[in-house]
Structure 1
């Protein structure tokens, strides 16, 4: 039986405890009558329930010898201690210090700082600790009783992890407003009836004609902004979504809704069970400060970045164009403020259609990329709150701490004087040139594999330094790692198994989530913001990577091939112009290297090898440039051509083609140059044609730069950035301060006066800038390797042609 309550068959108040299964949506702790109460808003198969857990105190650990000095005499009812069979990383016994409230814990932390006493794990919130100590992540089974107030409040005493499928209702939300922030309309789309709530009056269905097509939009009218907010509040009560989707939905939409409600002296109660939209820090409206009880908010921009999608611009119109092949339902999405106001005044049907289209585009992007599933799997893996983006250090703590405690240790305190930096990944000096038949051989998850193979582990370092050398594995910079029950290698093994399972089940979101978490482990250990940071840990990973890459190069070159480049986990092997079956050669090299690692590590160190070199790609054509104005080979920059089975594909790494601060012309020309280079077509004639077209003004449309302001122009400390200068000129020319606000789209050209906003140029376009600063850096590497001495004709000669 799922659970028993007045709403479910079989409820009997005399049966105790009862079991409640659900998916944890939000977590919090509240102070009630001088007590700390943990609150979990969960979704069950029968609806949302608030789960409360009492008597779970905010806590920290300290050395047992420090307890007497730390605790204030006579305050035993507020703060008390208890000895534990745990020790710190300095191998000293510890006490647990319990506080009645969070405020008491803050005072304890301050007192410890004044006395110079180390506290451990004081930053772990009680609502997090209660779950992670029990290995509970996303889905949970709570044991307890329903409160007498009804079936929506459950008082729990215990919890355990479970696995279940509970459908969640998601809705995309988008608002339209005036340039000054006054609300015009709110669009809602997804697991609900699509609708737009809009200020005004009229029919309940509007018709919009766009591009010769008739579109119907269901609308709900509101007489003014207050009525609009009240209508939205009623909609949340009726539809009751679990997930809100949007584009900058926290920092813009929800922030503006809160500010407009506050302007009218209202509380916007759109959380579960009538809780108002609120912020943990009132003047900081960010995802981590949002307080929206029982609802998970996923921002499309943040989650695309979390899943490692890359776009030149994360503007909705641009992302939708690339992923969906369509854009916003407005003529000029880069400068839409005035157009939206015009539509509100003159064509509310078109505004409603535009508003709803934005909602649908966000929804379709989430569906196309499976981001909701990705966010769920990430929460399930890490124990982080569903919807929390980033937080790699917190994810590491959630994974590591319960195992550490069971091994008899508490986490260390943050280092006040961190050690030296650890070196970065291995990057080999390249051999520049134009090649045929280059193989790329990659180590699969190199850093996680190093952790797993060489037993790199924070607890293992503590034990290994006190053990005989024969019982430990040598690291770098004085590190030694114990062979006794290492934690982190076992976590990596579990994650690797989960990823293979996800691949077998074609669960792309889970596979991607595991990959990102595994690859973040080194970064966490190398971050000084992590309590487990130790330069010996991070160095033992990166320097071992250096050793592995150098050894791999030596083994491959002993087979008669040349390694022309190496970067972190990738080795580039030149087979020669006549390579035969390049893929077979690549697989043979991979088998040789993997076999040698297995044998060497077993015989020399008594270790099981989890290093795995893979054949990644065969570039039929490959170009490694030199540094500009140098004969030295560049690093992290190359272009290659390979056959994916259907077509020839050009890959640009670290080149202007993939950088957003280059003009559309530069990108197009670079792509065409390398296509011609690999196809052995004439380059000089093409360059002459481009130069002539540039100076004659035929390419002006490809010279416009597009950038958005990341903050208000008044907040930029340096005004040297071209788009900031252009924005300041735009504000001055139009008198519109909103054009200099954060998020404003700036389109500009380089003229004889420098960067100037499009449509407000005071000087002619500076074609020399585009040739010398945009095209020449692209041309030089190719011309150098081909030994072509090309001289610019210049504007004066071109005018005579």
Structure 2
């Protein structure tokens, strides 16, 4: 039988059972089209101590296949590999082992993941095997895998991925009205209703909801997309479609090869529980958050307005449920346009932000399933485990720490005040650089402690809380070095999605090691990163002040340097660059002198704030932390303001407070009158001229009944809204509540409240943001308000 080589991208991965045998399935997209690759006679693998094999074998009710291997536990105990036929056997083995106090290692690594992990395969794969004969109705070739490997970078081929944006419109009760489908040079809307003579040419008319579903299933088979995108596309659109199919008893066969969409956990409609063979689903909200985009609201209307300067094709977005039903009953042509516009907006957002490229690069780097968001711990396992095994160890079964935790990042006490010419110097990727410089590594910690305590080796690198790190082939520093090199190449090639993906992964490493949810967690590891960071920030401050400048604040990896009054420096940029280079050099020398290590700590000149304000804590003379405002001039000599930790950047403050805060600082930095502005705004608030800026928007983080503080304003407003509309869905987790403060407390704006509590806004919203500026001007808010009252 001829051996065939297949190169492509792993879209989805699955473990199934066929005739009592475990089969690993990988849907691969090749340059020629999709291929289903299967690995037969697979086994579920975990590990235990060699000394525990006999006892386990006596307790289980099946023949336990065990093999002695050359791996050790982190306690340096010999390990055996256990091979099981199914996850059912693994669960049984796990219960028995737990009952008799025996530890199993790596029992939570799924077989379809392990096969790829052990071969360093992330997204791009090369399989060798032979094609199997299939049912003539199946259009996807079936490859029986003999061997698989990571596709070498010099052999990568361009794999075109076919993407579609999907969006449903429905009634309040969930009955489907239409479905929009938008792709490259393609648009279509399946609409329930009688054909109309004058309508958009992309509408396909269907008689009813059942016919719509059947048309959509057939469409998936014909169009055959690799990727489905949308807005809440899993939690709303696909979940809704699934529920309607259950109602009508229609198998939802929209997976590749006419396979069925299903959920791994019943009634849990989340991305991680979705199973859709051969197709990747990317939710715009989740992936914008994964790429660290920030918006006041992640509604499609809000995000598209900010990114595309365009919104939904509907007049009353707030009441779109009623509007959609009205359009369905009165103007289906307009509903179809609204439907396809939503699809296009999602498509354009993905294009604008390069989200698909980001998702691809993240999958290449981490080995996580293409389309899986979050999962930083799982990503760490994928990166770390194959190297760990080749170094002679299995992963521990549980974290080493027993409640002894590490401190957070270093935050220096600030010196409050108004300054001119403040430099911000940042350490480039500080925590990853610490890991790389000081050889911080789970395996290195185990080997270092063993070498120090058992062998008396004095060449280890000391960390914190008694940590000792081996200098011998550490894994994590090498991974950081590789990621850093790839990021520099990505920057050079202007590959922004790859650069951002690497940055996020590198910065997640400390968080993973500091999480008790990670089996590699050890306070010695996390503290050796954060406490080393404290030392680095303190020494950096000392060295800068030895150069004659004052450090007024420091936070985690940033140092704020004031050049002083009347410094007479003509080229401030040159000073910033010189400081960063000289401090970086001192760290090079310090690391060699103290530890005989190469330093990868690099201080960069980030910003020159021409004007800078570090406020005090409210009601105190003490300087605040993580709060400041800085101003720089752009090329057109216009001021650009940067707010950190202030109300301006917090969505839970009212629009008027945020607008006024920005304008107050802008006026102050320009040397203009803040008192006149404040007086006019306060007068406008009291006479009702600013009512449209008093609306709070806050999202419910849990269902209303689960809140313990029932007096929370947005919770009270949500309950009022539910009573007003007769719809309890507005009290569910994730709903955004809009309310205004009245003399009787918070009221939903849908109730059209009239008795607005203007004094609340003046005292609780405007006063806190105005006082820091007024203090710098030699005034107080209370005196300003009292003077204004005297003028009335």
TM-score over 0.5 (shorter chain): yes
2:477 to 474, 489, 492: 489
Residues 797, 279 of structure 1: alpha-carbon distance in 2 compared, 3 angstrom cutoff: same
| CA distance in structure 1 between the aligned counterparts of 2:618 and 2:560, rounded to whole angstroms | 22
> Is contact 1:56-1:130 (8 Å) kept?
no
Instruction: Please say if 1:473 is aligned against 2:461.
Output: yes
| CA distance in structure 1 between the aligned counterparts of 2:267 and 2:143, rounded to whole angstroms | 33
What is the CA deviation profile of residues 159-185 of structure 1, one whole-angstrom value per residue up to 9, with x for unaligned ones?
001133200001100111111111111
Partner of 1:159: 148
Partner of 2:354: 370
| CA distance in structure 2 between the aligned counterparts of 1:341 and 1:90, rounded to whole angstroms | 65
| CA distance in structure 1 between the aligned counterparts of 2:705 and 2:594, rounded to whole angstroms | 62
> Is contact 1:477-1:539 (8 Å) kept?
yes
What pairs up with 1:370-409 in 2 under 5 angstroms?
Answer: 370-409=354-393
What is the CA deviation profile of residues 235-279 of structure 1, one whole-angstrom value per residue up to 9, with x for unaligned ones?
101100000001111000000000011011111111000111110
| CA distance in structure 1 between the aligned counterparts of 2:259 and 2:185, rounded to whole angstroms | 21
What is the CA deviation profile of residues 109-161 of structure 1, one whole-angstrom value per residue up to 9, with x for unaligned ones?
11111111111100000000000100111011111111122761111021001
Instruction: Please say if 1:661 is aligned against 2:647.
Output: no
Q: What is the CA-CA distance between 1:221 and the residue it aligns to?
A: 1.0
What is the CA deviation profile of residues 416-459 of structure 1, one whole-angstrom value per residue up to 9, with x for unaligned ones?
86341110000000000000000000000000000000000000
> Is contact 2:767-2:781 (8 Å) kept?
no
Instruction: Please say if 1:98 is aligned against 2:83.
Output: yes
What pairs up with 1:387-466 in 2 under 5 angstroms?
Answer: 387-415=371-399, 418-466=402-450
| CA distance in structure 1 between the aligned counterparts of 2:196 and 2:186, rounded to whole angstroms | 17
Partner of 1:44: 30
Q: What is the CA-CA distance between 1:661 and the residue it aligns to?
A: 0.8
Unaligned runs of 5+ in 2: none
Instruction: Please say if 1:686 is aligned against 2:672.
Output: no
What pairs up with 1:93-172 in 2 under 5 angstroms?
Answer: 93-149=78-134, 152-162=141-151, 163-172=156-165
Partner of 1:202: 195
| CA distance in structure 1 between the aligned counterparts of 2:479 and 2:608, rounded to whole angstroms | 33
| CA distance in structure 1 between the aligned counterparts of 2:734 and 2:180, rounded to whole angstroms | 21
**Which secondary structure state, in structure 2, belongs to the residue aligned with residue 124 of structure 1?**
coil
What pairs up with 1:56-67 in 2 under 5 angstroms?
Answer: 56-67=42-53
Partner of 1:724: 715
| CA distance in structure 2 between the aligned counterparts of 1:481 and 1:416, rounded to whole angstroms | 16
Instruction: Please say if 1:707 is aligned against 2:678.
Output: no
Partner of 1:358: 342
Partner of 2:234: 250
| CA distance in structure 2 between the aligned counterparts of 1:416 and 1:494, rounded to whole angstroms | 27
Q: What is the CA-CA distance between 1:599 and the residue it aligns to?
A: 1.3
Instruction: Please say if 1:583 is aligned against 2:573.
Output: yes
> Is contact 2:615-2:624 (8 Å) kept?
yes
1:592 to 554, 562, 582: 582
Residues 627, 478 of structure 1: alpha-carbon distance in 2 compared, 3 angstrom cutoff: same
What pairs up with 1:170-569 in 2 under 5 angstroms?
Answer: 170-191=163-184, 193-203=186-196, 206=199, 216=200, 218-415=202-399, 418-467=402-451, 468-569=456-557
Q: What is the CA-CA distance between 1:55 and the residue it aligns to?
A: 2.2
TM-score (norm: length of structure 2) = 0.96
What is the CA deviation profile of residues 565-620 of structure 1, one whole-angstrom value per residue up to 9, with x for unaligned ones?
00000000001234432111111111110111111211221101100000000000
Partner of 2:744: 753
Residues 693, 92 of structure 1: alpha-carbon distance in 2 compared, 3 angstrom cutoff: same
| CA distance in structure 1 between the aligned counterparts of 2:563 and 2:773, rounded to whole angstroms | 22
Partner of 2:74: 89
> Is contact 1:419-1:534 (8 Å) kept?
no
Residues 361, 80 of structure 1: alpha-carbon distance in 2 compared, 3 angstrom cutoff: same
> Is contact 1:246-1:362 (8 Å) kept?
yes
What is the CA deviation profile of residues 179-226 of structure 1, one whole-angstrom value per residue up to 9, with x for unaligned ones?
1111111011123520111110214872xxxxxxxxx45111111110
Residues 609, 745 of structure 1: alpha-carbon distance in 2 compared, 3 angstrom cutoff: closer
Partner of 1:28: 14
Partner of 2:57: 71
Of stretches 541-550 and 576-585 in structure 1, the one that deviates more from structure 2 is 576-585
> Is contact 1:753-1:763 (8 Å) kept?
no
Q: What is the CA-CA distance between 1:711 and the residue it aligns to?
A: 4.5
2:632 to 638, 642, 664: 642
**Which secondary structure state, in structure 2, belongs to the residue aligned with residue 470 of structure 1?**
coil
Q: What is the CA-CA distance between 1:336 and the residue it aligns to?
A: 1.0
| CA distance in structure 1 between the aligned counterparts of 2:508 and 2:584, rounded to whole angstroms | 24
Q: What is the CA-CA distance between 1:733 and the residue it aligns to?
A: 2.4
Unaligned runs of 5+ in 1: 1-13, 207-215
Q: What is the CA-CA distance between 1:368 and the residue it aligns to?
A: 0.2
| CA distance in structure 2 between the aligned counterparts of 1:352 and 1:799, rounded to whole angstroms | 59
| CA distance in structure 2 between the aligned counterparts of 1:174 and 1:86, rounded to whole angstroms | 50
1:770 to 757, 761, 769: 761
Residues 349, 707 of structure 1: alpha-carbon distance in 2 compared, 3 angstrom cutoff: farther
Instruction: Please say if 1:675 is aligned against 2:646.
Output: no
| CA distance in structure 1 between the aligned counterparts of 2:538 and 2:71, rounded to whole angstroms | 42
| CA distance in structure 2 between the aligned counterparts of 1:313 and 1:718, rounded to whole angstroms | 23
Of stretches 268-277 and 197-206 in structure 1, the one that deviates more from structure 2 is 197-206
Q: What is the CA-CA distance between 1:761 and the residue it aligns to?
A: 4.6
| CA distance in structure 2 between the aligned counterparts of 1:204 and 1:763, rounded to whole angstroms | 48
Residues 616, 416 of structure 1: alpha-carbon distance in 2 compared, 3 angstrom cutoff: closer
Q: What is the CA-CA distance between 1:233 and the residue it aligns to?
A: 0.5
Of stretches 735-744 and 253-262 in structure 1, the one that deviates more from structure 2 is 735-744
Q: What is the CA-CA distance between 1:56 and the residue it aligns to?
A: 2.2
Residues 364, 36 of structure 1: alpha-carbon distance in 2 compared, 3 angstrom cutoff: same
Q: What is the CA-CA distance between 1:466 and the residue it aligns to?
A: 2.2
What is the CA deviation profile of residues 523-577 of structure 1, one whole-angstrom value per residue up to 9, with x for unaligned ones?
0000000010000000000000000000000000011100000000000000123
**Which secondary structure state, in structure 1, belongs to the residue aligned with residue 478 of structure 2?**
helix
| CA distance in structure 2 between the aligned counterparts of 1:640 and 1:178, rounded to whole angstroms | 49
| CA distance in structure 2 between the aligned counterparts of 1:685 and 1:421, rounded to whole angstroms | 51
Q: How many residues align?
A: 777
Residues 718, 217 of structure 1: alpha-carbon distance in 2 compared, 3 angstrom cutoff: farther
> Is contact 1:217-1:349 (8 Å) kept?
no
What is the CA deviation profile of residues 466-514 of structure 1, one whole-angstrom value per residue up to 9, with x for unaligned ones?
2245321110110010000010000000000100110111100000000
